[in-house]
Amino acid sequence: MGEKKQTFRDYLSQQGLKSTRQREIILDEFLRCDSHLSTEDLYLKLRKKHPGIGYATVYRTLKIFSECGIAEARNFGDGQTRYESTTCEEHHDHLICKDCGAIIEFEDPGIEQLQEQVARDHGFAIVSHRLEIFGLCAKCQNKER
Amino acid sequence: MGEKKQTFRDYLSQQGLKSTRQREIILDEFLRCDSHLSTEDLYLKLRKKHPGIGYATVYRTLKIFSECGIAEARNFGDGQTRYESTTCEEHHDHLICKDCGAIIEFEDPGIEQLQEQVARDHGFAIVSHRLEIFGLCAKCQNKER
DNA sequence: CGACTCCTTGAAATTGGTTTTCAATTTAAC
DNA sequence: GTTAAATTGAAAACCAATTTCAAGGAGTCG
Ligand SMILES: [Mn+2]
Ligand SMILES: [Mn+2]
Ligand SMILES: [Zn+2]
Ligand SMILES: [Zn+2]
């Protein structure tokens, strides 16, 4: 079984929560899908095979995913919260195309280090951060002409 | 008269919009106040001296401020859009205290340069970006113990 | 100064994503 | 099985943002 599924089940029992058919289905679909899905995105995908599952359940389940660390909530300023599966990989930030919505992930240790320096300079203790770069992806730059 | 006020008036006439008592009052108060105010923050401050001014007018006026470049909309993830007066200074990013809500501004040319490098590496054309570092300010770190 | 046009205003209604409520159902432990 | 507690889905509530609309105001032209 996937590591994520195990993590989720462990979290549920440890919190006195219950393992249900819906939660399993939602997790399976979430892990199968591309990342950066909104609640509604996932709800609509699920509805095709499982019309009975309610929006509220998807919403609540995604929240549990992020509580137990297998997903992370993101907010790219389009008014919808998006969730992405946390991989074993490191933290990453995003390039976001304003035209087609494409999301490119990147990591830059240099930027991260400079952030820590900035925080130190202000006596500030970092808990988290987010860096989003908005613009046009290569494809959309070519389209423009 | 302040440069901002002139910019605003020029923008209004150039767009065929009208200069009104309310817009003048709202601009004065906005310029007097601390930055990073939400629409509601500003509305509540205004209401003390000018109970007649409506929320919708404050909302619409802030929008015009950002259109004409004298204010910038920010979104720090607390579910409210905040506006800050654009100074003659450069772009800046923010350190945000999760405890007391304090907002510290900073500029780091090194970070900006690395961002440009990242974009180049992906053939991405930057239009804007935002970097927010969340954590605890010096004061709140001391409170914790 | 009017008269006229178009813009603006404030209150209230609407929108859209998110979150909660509640009665019925399901889970898990005994 | 019985039972207590958690879960579910539909609907309602929430809440910031945005729009609507009728009344009022600004600017223009004579
Ligand atoms: Mn990502
Ligand atoms: Mn600022
Ligand atoms: Zn694109
Ligand atoms: Zn603080």
pLDDT digits (tens, 9 = 90+) for A51-91: 999 999 999 999 999 999 999 999 999 999 999 999 767 79
Strand C–CB A77 distance below 7 A: no
In the structure, how far is the CA atom of residue A52 from the C1' atom of nucleotide C18, in angstroms? 21
**CA–CA min distance B48, chain A (Å):** 31
At B75-88, the pLDDT tens digits run 999 999 999 999 76
The alpha carbon of residue A12 is apart from the nearest alpha carbon of chain B, in Å, by: 27
Q: Which nucleotides of C are covered by protein (CB under 7 A)?
A: 6-12, 16-21, 26-29
Q: How far is the CA of B14 from the C1' of D28 (A)?
A: 15
User: What span, in angstroms and rounded, lies between the C-alpha atoms of A97 and A133?
Assistant: 9
Domain positions in chain B = 2-85, 93-144
Record: contact B119-A135, CB cut-off 8 A:
yes
Q: What is the mean pLDDT of residues B98-121?
A: 96
Strand pairing of A103-106 and B37-38? Answer: unpaired
Question: What is the spatial distance between Cα B38 and Cα B46, in angstroms, rounded to a whole number?
Answer: 12
A136 CA to chain B: closest CA distance, Å?
5
Task: Kindly list the distances between the CA atom of residue B138 and the CA atoms of A114, A130, B43, B72, B143, in Å, as whole numbers in the listed order.
Answer: 19, 20, 31, 27, 9
Confidence of residue B121 (pLDDT cuts 50, 70, 90): very high
- Which of B98, B110, B124 has its CB closest to that of A135? B124
Which residues place a Cβ less than 5 A from the ion ligand 3?
A 97, 99-100, 102, 137, 140
* Domain A93-144 sits in CATH 3.40.50.80: no
Q: Does domain A2-85 have CATH number 1.10.10.10?
A: yes
Of B77, B108, B127, the CB nearest to A118: B108
- Residue B134 has φ and ψ, to the nearest 5°, of -105, 145
pLDDT band at A27 (very low <50, low <70, confident <90, very high): very high
Residues B47-74: tens digit of each pLDDT: 999 999 999 999 999 999 999 999 999 9
**Overall average pLDDT of the B101-121 stretch:** 97
